[in-house]
Structure 1
């Protein structure tokens, strides 16, 4: 939130009004976006601004979802506020026929800050990747797909070459691949360490080349790392779990450098979601999903 001057507080927080014809944006005509002075949220595009000869900046449209309307204290006018911080902007009027849209947002200049077209750059969405193998990827995909902050989960193969990265070859156990999920996530919403915590709880990391009735090197427990930071996190967590004796048997999870991912055949993706009534999904996959969802809810509470 931006620190406001006394006058800005009077208008934005105490619902005051600046003098007509006094605001810096009354006759302002530059390409760009008008943003909330208090929280910087985008409010109006310059294309929506017009001269209403009223003494204040006027707009006949707002950026979708940016402005909220309230009945004013006098019970007659409609107040407009920033939808993000509820800072007072001004009032909205309809039926004046000043533009084809027949609406006028009468806004205090002091409630806004202008950003030119050169300054307005779409924020780059920050994402990272994680690649885990913990048995059948039907189970693993279903588990990670439920987590907030996970943008996508794709089933596939890693640890081998492109020539034999297909289900039939991998199931033979004669390739170097593991069945994995390739996860794109937002680190501002969910951390890599949280994903690791879910990974450890979603399978048994002490059984070599096996998960339940599924056996073979393709079902091995493995983390493919994408950075030095991820390597540090994985090894630190293995050390912590080992010292805490979480499992009676030693952890056999492989930690390997990521060297490529090969998406599985289309029918494998969203398998649990599309085939939830099948016996394997009901008996094997669903209990794992429910368990991890409950554990992750507790993890969020503790954070």
Structure 2
């Protein structure tokens, strides 16, 4: 979660409104994604934005599953909030005939942060170019060991992501106060393994229904999270979670966050290949190995030859 200023708290947490034509995104037209200021969940793509001449940024569509609608108590308007953290965005209006979709999300600039195409690595690269994925699913020793075994995965690095602290180390992140999650940063060849396959391995390798906890590991650093590198990953992750929810595979709601990737901080070198190097340790034998064996048996056909 991002640390908010007092004015940001007023708008996002107390449902206030910024003055018309005062926000930085009113006339903004760069290519990228608008994310929640509080939790960095992707909300709107730049192609959703249009000029409604109303004094606030306007969008006629949203990223699937990103925005929640709730009628105001007086029934006159419909509030829109970030579906992931509940942060106030603004209100949605229909029937104004301003665009073909006939809907206007009127959003406070201060409720959002913009990620450009360069920041999100969203350029239209060749389909077979090396791509990246960043996942949090509890202790990175477990997650790194699993993804490192997959055919098409070129490298896996343990590290930290998602906090407002401008640096990260194991001791600080373990305190739970930096906002960073333990993650694995993956480079993969999409010609060999698809992002959807990585998602399926991710959800097999941890419990996505326990908030800020995996087994006995507790704290926000162990949260279930997908840091999306581009808009396609946002769409695929949302669709996959929706599919799992519809199938009823998990008895409790999935709490996996989807956030825009920002900065990855590599973990200290002694974390590299931890399970491979220290498999005899009690934690590896009791926690990592059973999970590793379970996932690898299910994805045996995906293992490196």
TM-score, normalised to structure 1, is: 0.57
Distance, in Å, in 2 between the alignment partners of 1:164 and 1:259 is 13
- The 5 Å alignment of 1:1-303 reads 126-161=129-164, 163-297=166-300
2:166 aligned counterpart, secondary structure: helix
What is the alpha-carbon distance in structure 2 between the residues aligned to residue 297 and residue 272 of structure 1? 19
Q: Secondary structure at the match of 1:175?
A: coil
CA contact (8 A) 2:128 2:190 kept: no
Tell which deviates more after alignment, 123-132 or 151-160.
Answer: 123-132
Unaligned runs of 5+ in 1: 1-122
The 8 Å contact of residues 156 and 261 in structure 1, kept in 2 or not, is answered as yes
Indicate the SS of the match to 1:160.
Answer: coil
Structure 2 CA distance for aligned equivalents of residues 217 and 146 of structure 1: 27
C-alpha displacement of 1:175? 1.1
What is the SS of the residue equivalent to 2:156? strand
Shift of residue 125 of structure 1? 7.1
Kindly indicate whether the alpha-carbon contact (under 8 Å) linking 1:162 and 1:262 is maintained by their aligned counterparts in 2. Answer: no
Listed as ranges, the gaps of 5+ residues in structure 2 are: 1-125
Structure 1 residue ranges (4+ consecutive) displaced by more than 2 angstroms after TM superposition:
123-126, 161-164
Give, in whole Å, the separation in 1 of the partners of 2:292 and 2:239. Answer: 26
Q: Distance in 2 between matches of 1:160 and 1:253?
A: 16
1:199 aligned counterpart, secondary structure: helix
RMSD in angstroms over aligned alpha carbons? 1.9
Query: Greater relative contact order (Cα 8 A, min sep 6): structure 1 or 2?
Result: 2
Q: Name the SS of the counterpart of 1:156 in structure 2.
A: strand
TM-score by length of 2: 0.56
Distance 2:173 2:211 in 1: 17
Which protein shows a greater Rg? 1
Count how many residue pairs are aligned between Structure 1 and Structure 2: 178
CA distance in 2: counterparts of 1:287 and 1:166, whole angstroms:
27
Superposed CA offset, 1:25-49 (max 9, x none): xxxxxxxxxxxxxxxxxxxxxxxxx
CA distance in 2, matches of 1:164, 1:245: 39
Task: Say which SS state the counterpart of residue 163 (structure 1) adopts.
Answer: coil
Name the SS of the counterpart of 1:256 in structure 2: strand
- The superposition leaves residues 172-214 of structure 1 with CA deviations (integer Å, 9 ceiling, x where unpaired) of 0111100000000000000000000000000000000000000
Partner of 1:100 in structure 2?
Answer: none
- Deviation for aligned residue 1:161: 4.0
Q: Which residue of 2 aligns with 1:41?
A: none
Stretch moving more, 241-250 or 125-134: 125-134
Deviation at 1:290, TM superposition (A): 1.0
**Aligned mates of 1:210, 1:202 — CA distance in 2:** 14
Report if the CA contact (8 A) 1:164-1:170 is conserved. no
1:124–1:226 distance in 2 versus 1, CA, 3 Å? closer
Deviation of 1:287 (Å) = 1.0
